[in-house]
Homo-oligomer: A and B are copies of this chain.
Amino acid sequence: MNTLINNDNKNAFNTDLDQNQANFTALSPITFLERAATVYPNRTATVYGNIKRTWQETYQRCLKLASALKKRAVNTGDTVSIIAANLPEHFEAHFAIPMCGAVLNSINIRLDAPAIAFILKHADAKALIVDKEFSQVTKAALELLDTKPLIIDIDDPTYEAGELIGDLDYEALLNEGDPEGTGFKVSDEWDAITLNYTSGTTGNPKGVVYHHRGAYLNAISNAISWAMNPHPVYLWTLPMFHCNGWCFPWTIAAMTGVSVCLRHVRADDIFNLIKSEKVGYFCAAPIVLNMLNSSDDTLKADINHKVNVMTAGAAPPASVIEGMEKLGFSVTHVYGLTETYGPSVVCSWHEEWDDKSLVEKAKLKARQGVRAPMLDGLMVANPETLEPVPKDGKTMGEIFMQGNLVMKGYLKNPETTKEAFAGGWFHSGDLAVWHPDGYAEIKDRSKDIIISGGENISSIEVEDVLYRHPLIQEAAVVAKKDPKWGETPCAFVMLKNDTSGITDKDIISYCREHMAHFKAPKNVVFGPLPKTSTGKVQKFLLREQADKL
């Protein structure tokens, strides 16, 4: 590090000018809740069906939950897990649990019982809050544990199914707490605030630890990056278990906005809420945007205000962006990982792009982009030497991040933490090119790259061509071991509507027509693709299958 300022030099500016209680406070997003409750006590904080709560009510419920947990012997550095839909209780947990000094662990609701059991055990959860929609899988997970955490039910009156499996109910626990609680003080902004397990396409999930400082800064980075209005109305389409909803619970508190909660991501609910609650902002995967695009025109009618959409996970195709723009929705493409508090890279828009054709715009927007306002470093570099690649839009390198939006590390995993931070940069594992304008564009996951005859082949590039084939519904490309070339691309393809008559030869020749021949798959396998609970294709299974062909 090229340190121009050297603190070993005593000077007048660092003499008798120390930190004290008057001039220093640890950064924590919990302070946003306290401010919202005191400045705008009567503004709506959460909406869920007929339930509306103000910021003052929400703050008091959080104080009660925090003090009730403390009374139940949840202590500093303990984990409290939650498995729930995007409910107001889930929103409250983002504040109340860190307020008592504990660490929030929001569990992916799509996991199976063994995965949930692994997490509860690894995180050493002292308490678990369960939405009754997920009572069955949770019950099965708990049976796999020797020591069971305190189980707290969320008894959503609007949800008919599911059962109560807990020691007590969320509202009953709240009533054990003190609404006039002493509030909280975080003494060290480096203290953990949440724990998020990576979904991981192989092996056991890793526990990514966030701290108060990073959560505070990413919450603000979201607001600046999106240039949010005061009091934004935000719809909870993105799961809160996903990198803490990209830190948006804290962003919405900082902006004293409204959290419109949503149990299930359904087009009718989304459009109706956009209209009835005047939703201005939501985050969603491209697949959700696609669902909205293809939904009934009557649902789409009568939206007369601006709606801003943040999307990530895959580059949004031009058709999706076009559809959204026709609805008057403005799409921002972001990128990040669980390890970077969700989106830490943004395809920041340039006004001079406004006049480009839709195809060109979509191409520009499909790039992952540049560092978000509070990310301190971003580069595309050689994974071995950490030498930045030239900004030529062609040379492939790995994406590296640096600074306050990078996790504290992996829980109880010093070796993997060390590897992830080797050389003073966070290794994303994503392979990208760096365009002349400084925008990064992902080409592949590093472990998914195919090296054939010494040439790199991006599996994403081959998949893009396959997706353009009119009869292909889904496609994934992996490396297959090859005695001559080292590796060759092998395609796994699911066709639309039981299309028959199309052969592997047809697919291969289609690919050869649309890309360099060496990049075209040598093998094609038909059938459905194996996926993780979050919908990621499990390429390690496909690789095993490919090598057996």
Query: Which A positions have Cβ atoms within 8 angstroms of B?
Result: 1-7, 9, 11-14, 16-17, 19-25, 27, 31-32, 35, 38-41, 70, 75-78, 99-101, 103, 124, 182-188, 190-192, 195, 209, 220, 223-224, 227-231, 254-255, 348, 350-351, 370-371, 373, 376-377, 401-404, 406-409, 411-412, 414, 417, 420-421, 424-426, 438
Contact = CB atoms under 8 A, between A and B. Distances in A.
A231 B350 CA distance: 10
A188 B7 contact: yes
A6 B76 contact: yes
A40 to B, nearest CB: 7
Nearest to A402: B22
B191 A20 contact: no
Given A224-B223, A371-B35, A424-B21, A6 B209 contact: no
Contacts of A3: 185, 187
A80 to B, nearest CB: 12
A181 to B, nearest CB: 10
Given A27-B404, A409-B16, A5 B229 contact: no
23 contacts: A3-B185, A3-B187, A4-B76, A5-B101, A5-B185, A5-B191, A6-B76, A7-B187, A7-B191, A9-B76, A11-B76, A13-B195, A16-B409, A16-B417, A17-B409, A22-B406, A23-B402, A23-B404, A27-B404, A39-B348, A223-B224, A227-B229, A231-B351
Given A101-B4, A227-B229, A191 B13 contact: yes
B227 A23 contact: no
Contacts of A183: 2
A417 B17 contact: yes
Contact of A190 (B6, B19, B370, B420): B19
B220 A76 contact: no
A407 B76 contact: no
Contact of A6 (B9, B187, B228, B404): B187
A77 B13 contact: yes
B25 A377 contact: yes
Given A23-B407, A25-B403, A377-B25, A77 B17 contact: no
A488 to B, nearest CB: 36
